[in-house]
Structure 1
Amino acid sequence: MTRTAALLGASLLALAPFAAGPSLAQDAASISVPPLEYTHRELANGLDVYAMPDPSAGTVTVTLWYDVGGKDDPQGRSGFAHLFEHILSRKTVNLPYGQISTMVENAGGSRNASTGQDFTNYYETVPPQYLERMLWTHAERMARPVVDQAVFDAERSIVKEELRQRVLAPPYGRFQRFVIGDNSFDESIYRRSVIGSIEELDSAVIEDARAFHEAYYRPATATMIVSGNFDPAELNRLVDQYFADIRNPDRPVPVFERPVETPRTAPRMVEAYAPNVPLPAVGVIYPGVPANHPDAAALEVMSGILSRGESSRLHQALVYRTELAANAGLGVGSNEEDGTIVATATVARGKAIADVEAALNAELARMRDEPVTAAELAEAKMEIVAGELRQRETASGRAFILGQAIVSENDPKAPDENLAAIQAVTAADVQRVARTYLNDQARVSLRYQDESARPEGVPEDSWRNPAPVPTFLTVPPAVLPPNELLPEGQRMAPPALGEARAVVAPSVAERVLPNGLRIIAAKSTDLPIMNAQLVLGGGAAADPADRPGLATMTAALATQGAGGRSAPEIARTLEALGANVGGSAGADATQMFVSAPIAAATEVGAVLADVVQRPDFVEAEVARSRTQAVNGLRVNLSQPGPLASLVLNRLVYGAAPYGAPSSGTPESVEAITREEIVAFHQRWWRPDNATVIVTGGMEPEAAFAWAEQVLGGWDRPSTPKPTVGERAGAPTGPRVVVVDMPGAGQAAVTAAVRAPRRADDAYYPLAVANAVMGQGQNGRLFQEVRAKRGLSYGAYSTLGARAEGGALIASTQTKNESAAEVVGLVLAEFDRLAREPVDDQAVTDRETFITGGFLRSLETTGGLGGLLAGAVVDGLPLSEIETYPEKIAATTPDSLREAAGIVSAEDAIVVVVGQADMFIDALRAAHPDVVVIPAAELDLNSPTLGLMQVRTAE
């Protein structure tokens, strides 16, 4: 572990143990997080290089941040920086299209990129021996990118699908990206959405892309951060070798004359409408501050008090006590040059928009008019510091903290200075910034409702900001000749690999207490944080057939009052200690988790003991949780992707326990009673049906002692431990089902075949086969659907891990018009996997990809805990964290082909959710037996979805 991590541990462990009570304020204020450690150098061409070595890391992360983002989009080309982010990842003079992704995945690494208003970044995390190769790819993209018509057309199509998937398909996507985005600023450089619009993307041409690159992408606008396991002297040599000779273009970077923002002096209301909005939403926008503003720290603390955790003011006032809203929150968004403060709430079913607005306004007024309490102040600070500790756990996390500070605040010291500023915030500071910035004369109020509520005569774009959009720069034309991919024999070969470093899995220890409780401990970090997971056998498969969602609701309610503590008291106690807690029910097990600073372990453990052993299940909490769950389900069921997954799962497993939705349906959740919850808890929550897994900075003996103190007194019932019967049932027959969702912004396409148990030997070669077909950007589905045709933002497959039969599932989303074509492509890949041999090198590459992701999971406290929990649930030995890479690596082309024999289009179940009239004719031509179910008539409680009552669409 780095010296930074060691200092983090020393600084917190030196504190006296936390105690629930008044001393919390003093303890929180005394925490000092040591600074991020880095070195900095600037090359003669202006490239900034930051090095953050960590000899104990199993990986190295290379990030390159460019000082170009959405605010630099040319006139009439909103979304262009984001489009170019895609383009620059694809092809160079020496790298064919997609080769960068291939190279990273074949190394067992991961890569991605993102665009904000102020930046575009590209990043890879790979084994240390691949450092030089990654530096070379970044130099290629900076100096020798190929921007040709094929790349331009493909990436523009993909970006449009991303917009449909992230903005048009979710019920609140338009609200967040368009309604809030367009009304957050008036004349500001940040007025336009980073993702842009389909119309302006369509209007762009390839010359725009070449001009954009020539104008903005150069060493002088770039910052490189390398973090992880590397030799600093070697890094300096490699940076000089690959980057020192890259020249900046002779022309200066275009500079936009920033318009002077006219202060908003009168409030206004925005009414917006969109398809498939299950519950109305309301919002408030106030002008904010830049990221480096002196008031930023106080505003962050104010946001925490209003919105962070279940004890926050907005959650308590709008969601918990009054049940007016399904959710409520406030966020402070800060860019390099400006910021916003946005509060939103989703109106609960049956509640009035005006009542939610009044409650939201009352809490904002209370923040202005009354000082916050010492307890609220201390809790907000503790949550911020604890969150920072978790983000600094990995080398890549620390790199991103540093990079964000550089692009947003132009100051690498900002993360540490901001934490100090947060610790110094007073109650008076919070009230002062609330009075200053929550100014109702400068607010924009928002209402967002379903399209059916739009009055006649109100235009579809009623949400648009009436202030004129500023006129932005027009980037001058490119003057340099375009690059072209060199012929294969003339291309520069990637650099040779460096020396590999051995990766050692954490040591795992276990013991069983007299009450039957199994304890597993594995130290995973030197940071003073801990993660504990409680695994209870049964899970959603133990739900009665007419009560799907019972296990999930039991887990959710366990934290809503226990041992005489009310739900708000539990939330306040844990959040003041910097702890996160939660629970959910998967198919085979219920899991509770807690994450906290080690110094708070005793106090957190006392709460956990009550939550697990002595939940109150107060009738009022049951009713409240029931209402919140139903609100959440109605939102989920209005989204094509989640709904397609639920329908597919029901068709794959039918009436068997695995077939029922683990979170239930609105109808089943409405019917759950307190008595059923109490009985379920008594039956399944018992020490001889439970395992506690402790990971993080605790030594194993300390972890055992903690777990025994918390749950060693848990009484084991005299009754036999319960079991679940057959969970998966017999495989169902193939079918093609369409759920018709008029107004859906995209169509979700899913397909599945049944697969073996996780504990079967056949699982491992099938996992490699699944990686060939649909994992990562090298998967065949991604290549065929996205890379070659631009029909989706992504297309993938997963191999479900269940104690009894799992499923291999392919999924993607596409524009409605392309749904039938994409179904054909997905089914063709099912057949291809079973029919077409995979050569040795491809098998090896996919094995490396799988094991690389597995090993990265071992680096984090939560990741290690999740892998161990998976072993427990699936009945695997704990040595699986050591032997899994070997079992994957044992796959051969023959064993892969044998395992893939279960995958075929003939046996697949296919589900499409979207606007059926846009694709049904083409789909029926290929699948005459397709069944269409109107979304309003879908019955997820029925093993047949109500298919006996519907007929093939005419």
Structure 2
Amino acid sequence: MKKVGLTALAIGFLTAVSAQQVKFTEFDLDNGMHVIMHQDNTAPVVTVGVMYHVGAKDEEKGRTGFAHFFEHLLFEGTENIERGEWFNIVADNGGSNNANTTQDRTYYYETFPSNSLELGLWMESERLLHPVINQIGVDTQNEVVKEEKRSRIDNAPYGKIIYATGINKYVFDKHPYKNSVIGTMEDLDAAQLDEFKAFFKKYYSPNNAVLVVAGDFEPESTKEMIKDYFGPIPKGPEVFRVDIKEDPIKETIVATEYDSNIQIPIKAFVYRTPSMKDRDAYVLDMVSAILTDGKSSRMYKRMVDEEKIALQVLAFPRSQEDYGTYIMGALPLGDTPLEKIATVMDDEINKLQTQLISEKEYQKLQNKFENRYVNSNSSVQGIASSLATYYMLYGDVNLINKEIDIYRGITREDIKRVANEYLQKNKRLELDYLPKQDDQQ
């Protein structure tokens, strides 16, 4: 999604908060919309965000890519915002805006100088109440999405690894997580205008959304504005959540993918992991940090610094509402065979499964996660996104304050146990990601 930058003045005032408790209030509108407000008057900046509980996993077979498509389509305009003017209005008022889509939800937000709070509330209510969904908008955004797919996946080195389009289809069999968020262009081309309108009506309702206001505002007047702008929006139909269980992976899945944009291959292991709400998912975050997160990780130090068999080590731990994935891998240096990369990765996994990490490494790990926590709450924009996510996907807004305690409570024994339970050879995809030659299909 296109970004519009904050003015220099607004950037200068962007809020930085300490690791203190994030205070918030919550209430529901009569139409079912949940509202969360976090007041922080230390800088004259406010974020208005709306998260909808619809993502790629909610799409029908043969119509993939709809959720992400709407991330673009709903910036086209409304009955009261002329087509193509959304970004201009935001920029003219010193703000920034963006949107993003995952398998589980879609999130839209604006960050304004606080004196434009009402404008942000009005714009988001317009997006929900009066969107213009017509053929010219669909055709325009179809081309935008196609170009995004070409630039980020089709023509980008390692795009199918980064965006998991060459991975999830192996790890998931029944669950719609097997499809990519961006979907297929064939599905979008085949879709009719009425199908887009039906998708909006099904998922874009106040009772399937959470509104967050974070930053510099006056609570009582803001609450009244929220009621004025969002209260009259009619409640939508009940949304039934995806409830599909995957069978456990019991045998190693071996696969090869080709990429014409690369010259250096990747050896990757991919594991299916539990729901983001499961405590073991938090432990796996720490496992990933130990093995593959950055230059201080075990695999980087051994494979890149010490043995010099790899150019880079990569890791993509993805937490999601129903299941997650953990991708680890490395780019071999020189003529190092992929089998050697696999052997060393397995050796490091085995060490984690058989030996407790040292107290020193454990404390370093805790410090890293403390720092991540502080950084995630370092701006009102980040806090707004976190509040919406914790409400919608975890069902507990106060995780914004309590989640760090979950990490603090993880023991060295937990790390060893979880490494043994999830990082098993017979529970993974072993992927060779290779340069594509001219004679290969």
Are residues 2 and 207 of structure 1, via their aligned partners in 2, closer, same or farther at CA, if it must alter by over 3 Å? closer
1:827-866 aligned at under 5 Å gives the runs: none
Q: 1:260 aligns with which of 245, 253, 256?
A: 245
Are residues 173 and 3 of structure 1, via their aligned partners in 2, closer, same or farther at CA, if it must alter by over 3 Å? closer
Deviation at 1:385, TM superposition (A): 0.8
Q: How many residues align?
A: 428
Instruction: Tell me, yes or no, if the aligned pair for 2:153 and 2:159 is still in contact at 8 Å.
Output: yes
Residue 400 of structure 1: aligned partner: 385
Q: 1:181 aligns with which of 145, 165, 168?
A: 168
Residue 373 of structure 2: aligned partner: 388
The amino acid of 1:442's aligned partner reads K
Secondary structure (helix, strand or coil) at the match of 1:83 reads: helix
Instruction: Tell me, yes or no, if the aligned pair for 2:315 and 2:329 is still in contact at 8 Å.
Output: yes
Q: 1:311 aligns with which of 278, 286, 296?
A: 296
Deviations 1:52-87 (A, max 9, x none): 111112311111000011111122111110001111
Deviation at 1:2, TM superposition (A): 13
Deviation at 1:196, TM superposition (A): 0.9
Instruction: Tell me, yes or no, if the aligned pair for 1:301 and 1:377 is still in contact at 8 Å.
Output: no
Residue 279 of structure 1: aligned partner: 264
Deviation at 1:319, TM superposition (A): 1.3
Residue 367 of structure 1: aligned partner: 352
Tell me whether 1:330 sits opposite 2:315 in the alignment.
yes
Q: 2:25 aligns with which of 17, 39, 42?
A: 39
Deviations 1:247-303 (A, max 9, x none): 123x432554x3331111110211111212120011111110111102122222211
Secondary structure (helix, strand or coil) at the match of 1:277 reads: coil
Tell me whether 1:428 sits opposite 2:413 in the alignment.
yes
Tell me whether 1:168 sits opposite 2:122 in the alignment.
no
Residue 431 of structure 2: aligned partner: 446
Residue 507 of structure 1: aligned partner: none
Greater Cα radius of gyration, structure 1 or 2: 1
Deviation at 1:130, TM superposition (A): 1.0
Deviations 1:883-928 (A, max 9, x none): xxxxxxxxxxxxxxxxxxxxxxxxxxxxxxxxxxxxxxxxxxxxxx
Residue 36 of structure 2: aligned partner: 50
Deviation at 1:189, TM superposition (A): 2.9
Instruction: Tell me, yes or no, if the aligned pair for 2:15 and 2:379 is still in contact at 8 Å.
Output: no
Instruction: Tell me, yes or no, if the aligned pair for 1:306 and 1:329 is still in contact at 8 Å.
Output: no
Residue 145 of structure 2: aligned partner: 159
Residue 542 of structure 1: aligned partner: none
2:48 and 2:241 map into 1 onto residues whose CA distance is 29
Residue 218 of structure 2: aligned partner: 231
Secondary structure (helix, strand or coil) at the match of 2:26 reads: strand
Residue 254 of structure 2: aligned partner: 269
1:750-899 aligned at under 5 Å gives the runs: none
Residue 868 of structure 1: aligned partner: none
2:326 and 2:47 map into 1 onto residues whose CA distance is 33
Instruction: Tell me, yes or no, if the aligned pair for 2:15 and 2:43 is still in contact at 8 Å.
Output: no
Secondary structure (helix, strand or coil) at the match of 2:41 reads: coil
2:311 and 2:64 map into 1 onto residues whose CA distance is 33
1:659-674 aligned at under 5 Å gives the runs: none
Query: Over the residues paired in the alignment, what is the CA RMSD in angstroms?
Result: 1.9
Instruction: Tell me, yes or no, if the aligned pair for 2:16 and 2:378 is still in contact at 8 Å.
Output: no
1:120 and 1:288 map into 2 onto residues whose CA distance is 22
Instruction: Tell me, yes or no, if the aligned pair for 2:292 and 2:328 is still in contact at 8 Å.
Output: no
Instruction: Tell me, yes or no, if the aligned pair for 2:36 and 2:212 is still in contact at 8 Å.
Output: yes
Instruction: Tell me, yes or no, if the aligned pair for 2:75 and 2:86 is still in contact at 8 Å.
Output: yes
Instruction: Tell me, yes or no, if the aligned pair for 1:336 and 1:407 is still in contact at 8 Å.
Output: no
**TM-score, normalised with respect to structure 2:** 0.93
Instruction: Tell me, yes or no, if the aligned pair for 1:314 and 1:329 is still in contact at 8 Å.
Output: no
Gaps of 5+ in 1: 9-32, 461-954
1:237 and 1:106 map into 2 onto residues whose CA distance is 25
Instruction: Tell me, yes or no, if the aligned pair for 1:128 and 1:229 is still in contact at 8 Å.
Output: yes
The amino acid of 2:278's aligned partner reads H
Deviations 1:162-210 (A, max 9, x none): 0111101211002333212322322123111001122222222211110
1:147 and 1:3 map into 2 onto residues whose CA distance is 36
Tell me whether 1:220 sits opposite 2:199 in the alignment.
no
2:155 and 2:223 map into 1 onto residues whose CA distance is 46
Secondary structure (helix, strand or coil) at the match of 1:190 reads: helix
Tell me whether 1:347 sits opposite 2:355 in the alignment.
no
Are residues 268 and 213 of structure 1, via their aligned partners in 2, closer, same or farther at CA, if it must alter by over 3 Å? same
Instruction: Tell me, yes or no, if the aligned pair for 2:100 and 2:107 is still in contact at 8 Å.
Output: yes
2:363 and 2:240 map into 1 onto residues whose CA distance is 46
Secondary structure (helix, strand or coil) at the match of 2:199 reads: helix
Deviations 1:428-467 (A, max 9, x none): 0100000011121111100011112x8x7x7x4xxxxxxx
Q: 1:197 aligns with which of 138, 159, 184?
A: 184
Instruction: Tell me, yes or no, if the aligned pair for 1:333 and 1:341 is still in contact at 8 Å.
Output: yes
2:162 and 2:427 map into 1 onto residues whose CA distance is 20
Instruction: Tell me, yes or no, if the aligned pair for 1:67 and 1:222 is still in contact at 8 Å.
Output: yes
1:111 and 1:39 map into 2 onto residues whose CA distance is 24
The amino acid of 1:382's aligned partner reads N
* Structure with higher RCO (Cα < 8 A, 6+ apart): 2
Deviation at 1:331, TM superposition (A): 3.6
Instruction: Tell me, yes or no, if the aligned pair for 2:15 and 2:42 is still in contact at 8 Å.
Output: no
1:266 and 1:253 map into 2 onto residues whose CA distance is 36
Residue 128 of structure 1: aligned partner: 114
Instruction: Tell me, yes or no, if the aligned pair for 1:135 and 1:239 is still in contact at 8 Å.
Output: yes
- Larger mean CA deviation between 49-58 and 212-221 belongs to 49-58
Residue 196 of structure 2: aligned partner: 209
Deviations 1:822-879 (A, max 9, x none): xxxxxxxxxxxxxxxxxxxxxxxxxxxxxxxxxxxxxxxxxxxxxxxxxxxxxxxxxx
Instruction: Tell me, yes or no, if the aligned pair for 1:283 and 1:343 is still in contact at 8 Å.
Output: yes
2:322 and 2:179 map into 1 onto residues whose CA distance is 14
Residue 70 of structure 2: aligned partner: 84
Deviation at 1:131, TM superposition (A): 0.8
Instruction: Tell me, yes or no, if the aligned pair for 1:305 and 1:377 is still in contact at 8 Å.
Output: no
The amino acid of 1:364's aligned partner reads I
Residue 95 of structure 1: aligned partner: 81
2:156 and 2:14 map into 1 onto residues whose CA distance is 42
Residue 247 of structure 1: aligned partner: 234
1:604-643 aligned at under 5 Å gives the runs: none
Residue 48 of structure 2: aligned partner: 62
Instruction: Tell me, yes or no, if the aligned pair for 1:57 and 1:395 is still in contact at 8 Å.
Output: no
1:355 and 1:366 map into 2 onto residues whose CA distance is 17
Deviations 1:720-764 (A, max 9, x none): xxxxxxxxxxxxxxxxxxxxxxxxxxxxxxxxxxxxxxxxxxxxx
Are residues 259 and 393 of structure 1, via their aligned partners in 2, closer, same or farther at CA, if it must alter by over 3 Å? closer
Deviations 1:563-596 (A, max 9, x none): xxxxxxxxxxxxxxxxxxxxxxxxxxxxxxxxxx
1:401 and 1:171 map into 2 onto residues whose CA distance is 31
The amino acid of 1:422's aligned partner reads Y
1:415 and 1:376 map into 2 onto residues whose CA distance is 26
1:107-118 aligned at under 5 Å gives the runs: 107-118=93-104
Deviation at 1:4, TM superposition (A): 10
The percentage of aligned residue pairs carrying the same residue is 30
Deviations 1:684-705 (A, max 9, x none): xxxxxxxxxxxxxxxxxxxxxx
Deviations 1:650-694 (A, max 9, x none): xxxxxxxxxxxxxxxxxxxxxxxxxxxxxxxxxxxxxxxxxxxxx
Are residues 334 and 376 of structure 1, via their aligned partners in 2, closer, same or farther at CA, if it must alter by over 3 Å? same
The amino acid of 1:316's aligned partner reads K
Residue 297 of structure 1: aligned partner: 282
Gaps of 5+ in 2: 1-12
2:380 and 2:332 map into 1 onto residues whose CA distance is 41
Are residues 391 and 255 of structure 1, via their aligned partners in 2, closer, same or farther at CA, if it must alter by over 3 Å? closer
2:405 and 2:106 map into 1 onto residues whose CA distance is 28
